[in-house]
Amino acid sequence: MRNSMDRICQHCGKWIGGNAYRVTSEEEGIRLLDMIVCSLCFMEAKGLGLHTEAINVRNKQVSARNRRSHRTAVGI
């Protein structure tokens, strides 16, 4: 079941009509930021030098990179 919040930008709060992006930031192996954002916020994050990647919000599958980062962050 889809949650209506799946398509809301976690930065600006606007509806994501097109592609969605994940913006992350880590420091010393600790995840400080992990947000799903719209294309405008993606461009802003990219300009700030944050890690960005296109995602498929509908599918909600976690990429191998994110699974690996999560395990490291929580010590699994």
Give the chain's domain count: 1
Q: 24 has which bridge partners?
A: 34, 51
Query: Per residue in 19-72, pLDDT tens?
Result: 999 999 999 999 999 999 999 999 999 999 999 999 975 544 444 444 444 444
- Structural domain boundaries, residue 34: 4-74
CB atoms within 10 A of CB 48: 10
d(CA 2, CA 44): 27
- At residue 57, the pLDDT reads 54
CB 58 within 8 A of CB 6: yes
pTM summary value: 0.65
pLDDT band at 5 (very low <50, low <70, confident <90, very high): low
- At residue 56, the pLDDT reads 77
